[in-house]
Structure 1
C-alpha cells in the first residue's frame, strides 16, 4: 500500500510468517497423500490510520491469517499443488477483505517422499527427501497475478573431472590453478510463469579441501592423493545467473 502521509510516500505490509500446516488426503484405494507447508503471508492494505490515529479498522489480524491457512487447507478436499494453494490463499485475502489491495503468499514445501517396501510403494509411509519446493505468488485487487516457483537445498556433487584455471591473477591471488578437484554445490533455483519467462540459479561452492598432514617424524602421515578431503562451506564462493526472455523482467 502506498499513500500520502504528510507529504511522504508511505508503504507498509503486515502478515504472518512460518505458519506450518500438514494436509493428508485419503484415496478410495487406501493410499494416502500428504504435504507439509510452511506458509508466510503479507498483506498490503489502506491502513494509514493504524499508524497515525490508533485506528486498526483497516487491519486484518495476523492470527486471522494463521487460522485462514488451516481453514482453507481443510476446505481442499481434493489434492492440490503448492502453487494452487498459494494462489487460493492470495485470492481469498484480496477478494474477501475490501481493505486489502494486494497479497503476497510464500510457501516452502517439505520434501516428504513415499517409502518403497520390497519395491512397492507403501500406502501411508513417507520419508524426508532433500530439496524443498518453493513458491511465491502475488495477487492484486485487480486480479493481476505473478507466480514464481523453485527449489532450494538441492545438494549435488561430483568427485572428479572438475577444474578451475585461467582466472585473473594479481598480487592478492594465492589460489593455485587445478585441473582436478571435487565439485559440490547447493542449488537454489526459481522460475517465473506464464510458461517459463525467467529462470534464476544460485549455486554457492561447497568446498572439499585436500588434506595433507605432515609431522616431523612422518612427513607423509596423510598425503593427499585425491582421496581425503576437509568439507567446508565457510567462506564459500557464490555463483548466480539468470536467463529471461526479452519481454520478461526478473
Structure 2
C-alpha cells in the first residue's frame, strides 16, 4: 500500500529470507520417519512508516522474530503438512498476531529429499536427495483473502527423437538449418495459481497440495513425452509448452492459471572432418555436443477467463 510522503509515493516491506528449517515426524510406533527441509522467505507489508521517517521502530516486527517464528510454528505442527499449508499458517499468524501487518507473503522452496529403498523395501528413516524442487507461495491478507501458488523448479526433461523445428523466419542472420529430427531438452520451471480466494476455502487435508504437486508434475511430464511407445512429435518448444499448460488446466479444476518457462537446452550435432579424412566423425543422429549456454528462452502463461495471474 503506497503512502504519500513529502510529495512522493512511498512503498515499503521487510522480511527474513532463506530461513532453513528441517522437520521430522514419526509414526505412532516411532519406527517410520517422515521429513522435509524447507527454505522459507517471509515478506511483511505493514504500517511501520515511522521507522523510515521518524526514527521510531516501535511498529517493526524484527526479522529475527520472523526467523524464530518459523521454528516455533514448525514445532507446533504435530502432523505432516504441505509447504502450501505451512506458508498459509505463517501468513495467518503474522497478519493476525501483529495489528500493523496487513499482508504477509510467504514463499517456501522444499528440498527434494526422497525416501530410499533397500532390497526393494522403503527404508524406515533413509533419504536421498532428488532433483526438482517443490515451491509454494501464499499471500495472506488480514481479511483472510488468499492468493496461493505452487510450482516446480529444475524439472529436467529430455527426449532423443520425435522433435523438429521447421518453417521459421530465415534471413541473412540465420544459420540454423531446418530439421525434423533433433534432440529436445529443457529444464522446466512451472507455477500454477489455485482458485481458492480465502484461507477458509482451501481443502482441509494436510497433504492435499502435496498430492496435487505430484499429479501436476505427472501431467506435465506425460504430455511432454507422449505415449511410452512412439512418444509424440514436438513441432517446437512453444507448441509443446502450450500442450502441457492445456493439459494441466484440463485436468485440475481448482487451478486457474499456469505458467511455464522452458529453455531450449541445445544438443548440437557433431561433424568432424579434415582435409586428410573427410569423415572422422559423421553425424547420424547419434553424437552430440551438450551445451547450456547460450540457450533458447521460451515462456508463456495460460489462464482461465477471470484468472488474476
> In the alignment, which residue of structure 1 is the partner of 2:163?
162
CA distance in 2, matches of 1:8, 1:111: 45
1:241 paired with 2:300, answer yes
Aligned residue for 2:261? 202
Matched, 1:142 2:147: no
Once the two structures are superposed, what CA deviation does each residue of 1:84-111 show, in whole Å capped at 9, x if it has no partner? 0000001111111111111000000011
Consecutive unaligned residues of structure 2, counting only runs of 5 or more, are 196-253
Measured in 2, the distance between the counterparts of 1:216 and 1:55 equals: 78
Aligned-residue offset at 1:16:
0.8
Q: Tell me which residue corresponds to 2:52.
A: 51
CA distance in 2, matches of 1:12, 1:213: 58
How do 1:1-250 residues align onto structure 2 when only pairs under 5 Å count? 1-29=1-29, 30-194=31-195, 195-250=254-309
What is the root-mean-square deviation of aligned Cα atoms in Å?
1.1
How far off is 1:242 after superposition? 1.3
The structure that is helix-richer by fraction is: 2
TM superposition shift of 1:141: 1.4
Separation in structure 2 between the aligned mates of residue 51 and residue 36 of structure 1, nearest angstrom: 35
Provide the secondary structure at the position in 1 that maps to 2:286.
coil
SS of 1:22's partner is strand
- Structure 1 residue ranges without an equivalent (≥5): none
Aligned equivalents of 1:92, 1:73: Cα separation in 2:
12
Higher strand share: 1
SS of alignment partner, residue 197 of structure 1: strand
Q: CA deviation at 1:215?
A: 3.0
**Larger mean Cα displacement after TM superposition, 238-247 or 106-115:** 238-247
The two structures have a TM-score, normalised by structure 1, of 0.97
TM-score w.r.t. the length of structure 2 is 0.79
CA separation in 2, counterparts of 1:222 and 1:188? 35
Distance 1:184 1:160 in 2: 10
**Cα distance in 2, alignment partners of residues 152 and 121 from structure 1:** 26
> By how many angstroms is 1:74 displaced?
0.7
